[in-house]
Structures are given as structure tokens and as C-alpha cells.
Amino acid sequence: MGSTNVTIRSYAEGDWAAIAAIHDAARLDELRDSVGVEAFLTLAQTAEGEGLFDGQLWVADVGGSVAGFVAVEDDEVTWLYVDPQRYRQGVGRALLRHALAAAGPRVEVTVLDGNTAALGLYLSEGFTITETRTGSLVGNEAFTATGHIMHRQ
């Protein structure tokens, strides 16, 4: 894994185009190995309904460009996406650690079954799978998904 100088800062309105592009590219990767790309919806289609702005939202800045983002609501990491051009450079880990520092003592995240990169990141940061559920895919309920609910204490 390469190392990149990552700065985490609060989301600003001017970041929308960057986080939308990051989400849309990374979400396709996430779905490709889990539910299937047929379930893809853009960030513009899902942000409001899935509560992107309901909690705290931060972006990772690398060299003046947005490289990823993370959202936390109460004690749950609700969104974490990294620009595919920045995979395995420490961006996701920096975002996750920032979110963990801001969240409560017990933090939850749900990872789609098949998303081995995300699963590996969360396991390496002390999360454990506490439950696995199959049901409607959040944000696109026409599709069925299996998710691992993970916790860190």
C-alpha cells in the first residue's frame, strides 16, 4: 500500500461535483462484486433519500483535490467512498480513522457481501462482523443485497 499525504476537512458546497464523481465511480466497483452493477444509482439520485447530509460529512484532500469522503450519523459510518485512482493509498483509512475519532465509543458500519476491500479495511481497524442480513438494497430497494453489520468498540 502506498502512502499519501491526506488532509481531512469538513465538506463544503463546492465539493459536490467531486464527491458525486467519486461515489459514482467507486459505487460501480462496490456493486460489481456484490449486488451487480444493474443496481447502480448516482449520488445525485440517492444522497437525499439515503441521508448523506444528515450527520457529519468530511472529505479527504490530497494535493488540493478531493480524493474521498466519509459521513457519520450518530454512531454509524453511513458513507465512505474513495476515488478509484486513489485506492490502496491510505485515503480510506485516513477517512475512517477521522470518522472513528468523531463517533461514539461503539461504531457501526454495514458492508456489502463481496466488497472484500472494504471488509478488509474495517477488520484491520478493529471491527467485527456482528450480524449478516439479506434484504432490500438501501437506496435501490428493487434489488436484494446481503450486508455484514460490523461494530467496533
pLDDT given at position 130 = 97
Give the full edge-to-edge strand order of the sheet including 56-62.
Answer: 7-10, 56-62, 65-73, 76-82, 107-112, 140-152, 128-137
For residue range 26-81, what is the model confidence (pLDDT) as tens digits? Answer: 999 999 999 999 999 999 999 999 999 999 999 999 999 999 999 999 999 999 99
Domains in the chain, start-ordered, CATH in brackets? 7-152 (3.40.630.30)
pTM of the predicted model, to two decimals?
A: 0.94
| Overall average pLDDT of the 117-124 stretch | 96
pLDDT value at 133 more than 60: yes
